[in-house]
Amino acid sequence: MQIVKHTYKDQVIDHIYQLLLDGELGPGDQLKESLLAEQMGISRAPIREAMKELIMNGLVDYRPQVGNFIPVLSPKEIVDSYTTRGVLEGTQSWKPVKSLPPTILILSMI
C-alpha cells in the first residue's frame, strides 16, 4: 500500500491545473493569492508555496510588484514544445523495439 500525502500546497497546484483544463484560466490571466485562498478556504501561505513551485516549473510567470500570471507562449515556444515532445516520444517508442530479437525485427519487415 502506498501512502499519498496531499498537502495544501499540492491541492492548490491541482486546483490551478484544473482551472487551466476547464478553461477558467488562460494565457495572460493573473493568479490572485487572495482569491484562490478564498475559493479554497485556506490561508495564503500554501498558495504562495504552490506559486513558488509553479514558477520554478515555468508554469507561472512572476512579475515583481504586479503578481503571478499564466504565461503567454510565443509561436516559437509552442513549436519548440511540440518538437521536443515528438523527439522524446520517438526515443521512448524505440526502446522496446531495441530489446526484441533480430529475427522478430526481420520478420516484421517482410
Cα 101 from Cα 60, distance rounded (Å): 46
Is residue 3, in this structure, part of any structural domain at all? no
Same-domain status, 22 and 51: yes
How far, in whole angstroms, is CA 94 from its chain's centroid? 25
pLDDT, residue 93, reads 79
pLDDT, residue 106, reads 63
Give residue 37's domain range. Answer: 8-69
60 phi/psi in degrees, rounded to 5: -140, 140
pLDDT, residue 51, reads 96
Cα 27 from Cα 75, distance rounded (Å): 13
The 10s digit of each residue's pLDDT in 38-67 is 999 999 999 999 999 999 998 999 999 999
CATH code: domain of residue 57 = 1.10.10.10
Low-confidence ranges of the chain (pLDDT < 70): 98, 102-110
pTM of the model: 0.70
